Amino acid sequence: MTRTAWVFPGQGSQAVGMGADIFDHPAAKQKLAQAEQILGWSVPEVCQSEDDKVSNTLYTQPCLYVVEAILVDLMQERGHQPNLVAGHSLGEYVALYTANVFDFESGLHLVKRRSELMSHASDGMMAALIGFDREQLEQQIQQTSDVVLANDNNAGQVVISGTPEAVEAVLSQVKAKRAVKLNVSGAFHSPLMADAAVEFQPVLESVAFQPAQVPVLSNVDPSPATDAAVLKERLQQQMTGSVRWREISLRLPEEGIDRVIEVGPGKVLTGLIKRTCPTLTLETVGSLADLPN
């Protein structure tokens, strides 16, 4: 019997026009109304705004959460259920929603506050490296203060995060096929987000977590968990901790998973997983047309 994992993308997967065909679906109407009440703005309007408003962190995170949560609802309505869930950074919130750890509105309140705190974070920098010597990179990070490995996506693709000086220092010392400075407001997934994490804690504490209905692989700890307190603790650590996506990918076959569905816009996660676990069957569900029967 096929065992399936659902994975949920985070920031970087958004695109103008995403979700267009699901917004008119009757099942989406209630969620969109709830979202507008919580956010004070319309998710469909932002997603379809030609000025790429959807790529501003303040809007990106809530829009991805809402679009992905609606896709989850539509999949579950058709009788589909995952055996395991995981999400990349912001995507972890959708994974927890899917596993019934919290309801849609509670998750959106968390995501709204997270996006506000992250959009106000400054004095930091992030850069992606593709095709590099991992040993050389790890050594350089150890020797440089104020920089960390923020996203370990797969063997050939990572993101470093820290102060601009520290990130520049590492980039100048490590040979890579490609190094790209990311257009973000702060040093996400690094200790420089400690103040934001402290501000986020009371909001997180105010939301009741339930035991997960299916195991969740968290960004900061890729071992399966269903315990509500453990999942909340891991989410608290996520803002300053690394996204260990390479280890999450490796864990999937270990847990008997043979099929992975990326639920959300784009194909970023299936692209990353393909390089780490080429034997897995990979699918994407980003629109109504992609929904399995």
Supply the residues annotated as catalytic. Answer: 89, 189
**CA distances (Å), 257 to each of 117, 172, 182, in order?**
35, 40, 32
Count CA within 13 A, CB hemisphere, residue 36.
12
Q: d(Cα 27, Cα 149) in Å, to the nearest integer?
A: 40
Q: What is the 3-state secondary structure (H, E, C) of the chain?
A: CCCEEEEECCCCCCCCCCCCCCCCCHHHHHHHHHHHHHHCCCHHHHHCCCCCHHHCHHHHHHHHHHHHHHHHHHHHHCCCCCCEEEECCCHHHHHHHHCCCCCHHHHHHHHHHHHHHHHHCCCCEEEEEEEECHHHHHHHHHHCCCEEEEEEEECCEEEEEECHHHHHHHHHHCCEEEEEECCCCCCCCCHHHHHHHHHHHHHHHCCCCCCCCCCEECCCCCCCECCHHHHHHHHHHHCCCCECHHHHHHHHHHCCCCEEEEECCCCHHHHHHHHHCCCCEEEEECCHHHCCC
Of 69, 81, 82, give the one whose Cα is nearest residue 30. 69
The bridge status of strand 216-217 relative to strand 84-87 is parallel
